[in-house]
Structure 1
């Protein structure tokens, strides 16, 4: 009898609540249209992400996307290579279809006192003043065409982890290193490797 009650209890147990969210994943930088999607499991939230890239102070990439996301994939951060900067912001919420508005890009940030090396051409001895929450130095190599180019600069801590939103994994690539401390990115390699160079954006900026 107890076994029968247990079986009925499992069969009749309500399904864990999953959210329904808007999804909009632009391809090739193009705009997209919102569709509705049921998240794959309980624990997911609805998220909206904004990705903006700048070259010489001018915005050259402005992309927005929406989908289901995990709480630890909700963050704000930036990659600053001196000649180019990419800012990523996410906004997450926990009710059905609550991600109906795009994420808001953070406002202008000011230098925070931390300093890293950055590259100007083949010379990587320039001083870059990190801004906002950029508290790490970065160093890596990106291949543009057939040529390898060294990139150095500042990055936010949350950009220095591999727990990046899977929806931007195609946007993120390359193996670069992250370290803490002023000018710690002077060597060709620093500490842990990470999935972090915004290769398509950097290529676009350097070729524009």
Structure 2
């Protein structure tokens, strides 16, 4: 009986003990050695690979930190001219987030069956695009000084669930019907201004 009590006590103690995770943001090649002791609500270590593709050039950033279980998500936002994918992998032991998740490769031939309007040039938002697999929403937002941006997005981006990974999103408007982003109310957003530099280094705080 004593052995059972001791085992249960140890198990409970280990669950409550603070978790240590790697914490950094590295664009391109580089190493991560900084660590952090997580807050009580952050019960997982996360490693996030965010890839921005613009003009055929892809920039990849790997971000490591503590996180809550609800943030262990992936997703994408895509306007054909600019695309962002986020792949988050989580684990539960000390310093377990030492790996880099692969970049999510959206399949060229596989689509979600949804079509959305996109803007191929400033003021020209009459073109349409086929959404990739997993992109089940259309979006619209205004990004000063670029102007209106439209395209396809995954539900995790539209719901705000990926905000810690992406940075602040203000008035990103999404809808579910085909070509439904034709007349959505235009809002202001700094999302696309943050995509290339991914300047939010401590994303899960």
Using the size of structure 1 for normalisation, the TM-score is: 0.77
- Taking the aligned partners of 1:90 and 1:173, their CA distance within structure 2 comes to 18
Against the structure 1 CA distance between its residues 165 and 141, is the aligned structure 2 distance closer, same or farther, given a 3 Å change threshold?
closer
Alignment partner, residue 177 of structure 1 = 173
**1:77 offset after TM fit, Å?**
0.5
Alignment partner, residue 120 of structure 2 = 120
Helix, strand or coil at the partner of 1:25: strand
Helix, strand or coil at the partner of 1:124: coil
Against the structure 1 CA distance between its residues 178 and 22, is the aligned structure 2 distance closer, same or farther, given a 3 Å change threshold?
same
- Taking the aligned partners of 1:14 and 1:113, their CA distance within structure 2 comes to 49
Conserved 8 A contact 1:19-1:42: no
Per-residue deviation, residues 26-72 of structure 1 (Å, max 9, x unmatched): 4x88956321211111552000001111124331x211110001111
Q: Which has the higher strand share?
A: 1
- Taking the aligned partners of 1:175 and 1:185, their CA distance within structure 2 comes to 14
Alignment partner, residue 20 of structure 1 = 20
Helix, strand or coil at the partner of 2:195: helix
Match of 2:153 among 152, 155, 173: 155
Alignment partner, residue 43 of structure 2 = 44
Against the structure 1 CA distance between its residues 163 and 113, is the aligned structure 2 distance closer, same or farther, given a 3 Å change threshold?
closer
- Taking the aligned partners of 2:170 and 2:193, their CA distance within structure 1 comes to 7
Structure 1: tracts of 5 or more residues without a match: 1-12, 204-208
The total of aligned residue pairs comes to: 183
Conserved 8 A contact 2:142-2:188: no
Verify: 1:33 aligned to 2:32, yes or no.
Answer: yes
Per-residue deviation, residues 148-187 of structure 1 (Å, max 9, x unmatched): 5000000000011223353542xx4442201101001000
Against the structure 1 CA distance between its residues 45 and 32, is the aligned structure 2 distance closer, same or farther, given a 3 Å change threshold?
same
Structure 1 runs, 4 residues or longer, greater than 6 Å off: 193-196
